[in-house]
Structure 1
Amino acid sequence: MNNINEILELTDEIEIIEAVGANIYKKKEQSDDFTLLNDYERNFVYIDVFEAAMNEGGFNNFFCTEAGNFALEIKNAYKAINAPKTALLIEKALGLFPNDEYNDKLDERNKQLAKMDEMVFSGWEDLDELFFDEEQEEDIVALIVEYIRKHKEKFN
Structure 2
Amino acid sequence: MKTINNILRLEDEVAIIEAIGTLIWEKKEATEDFSELTDEEQVFVFIDIFEGAMGDGGFQLFFTSEAGNFVEEIITSYQEIKAPKTAEIIANAVKIFPKKYTTDLTERQTLIAKADEEVLSGWEDLDEIFFTNESEEDVVSLIVTYIKDNESQFGN
TM tier relative to shorter chain: over 0.9
Segments of 5+ residues of structure 1 without an aligned counterpart are none
What's the counterpart of residue 86 of structure 1?
86
How far, CA to CA, are the matches of 2:115 and 2:44 in structure 1?
Answer: 31
Within a 5 Å distance, the mapping from 1:1-156 to structure 2 comes to 3-99=3-99, 101-133=100-132, 137-156=136-155
Listed one character per residue, the Cα deviations across residues 28-66 of structure 1 (whole Å, up to 9, x for unaligned) are 000111111111111101111111110111001100111
Listed one character per residue, the Cα deviations across residues 121-155 of structure 1 (whole Å, up to 9, x for unaligned) are 10000000101115754101000000000000100
Aligned partners of 1:59 and 1:93 also within 8 Å: yes
Using the TM superposition, give the Cα deviation of residue 4 of structure 1 relative to its aligned residue in structure 2, in angstroms. Answer: 1.1
Distance 1:86 1:135, change over 3 A: closer
Aligned partners of 1:59 and 1:124 also within 8 Å: yes
Using the TM superposition, give the Cα deviation of residue 98 of structure 1 relative to its aligned residue in structure 2, in angstroms. Answer: 3.4
Using the TM superposition, give the Cα deviation of residue 70 of structure 1 relative to its aligned residue in structure 2, in angstroms. Answer: 0.7
Segments of 5+ residues of structure 2 without an aligned counterpart are none
Aligned partners of 1:130 and 1:136 also within 8 Å: no
How many residues are paired up? 155
Matched letter for residue 133 of structure 1: T
State TM-score, norm by structure 2.
Answer: 0.94
State TM-score, norm by structure 1.
Answer: 0.94
Using the TM superposition, give the Cα deviation of residue 20 of structure 1 relative to its aligned residue in structure 2, in angstroms. Answer: 0.7
Matched letter for residue 121 of structure 1: L
Using the TM superposition, give the Cα deviation of residue 114 of structure 1 relative to its aligned residue in structure 2, in angstroms. Answer: 2.2
Aligned partners of 1:82 and 1:143 also within 8 Å: yes
Higher RCO by CA contacts (8 Å cutoff, separation 6 or greater): 2
Query: Which stretches of structure 1, 4 residues or more, deviate above 6 A after TM superposition?
Result: none
Matched letter for residue 113 of structure 2: A
RMSD: 1.5
Aligned partners of 2:62 and 2:68 also within 8 Å: yes
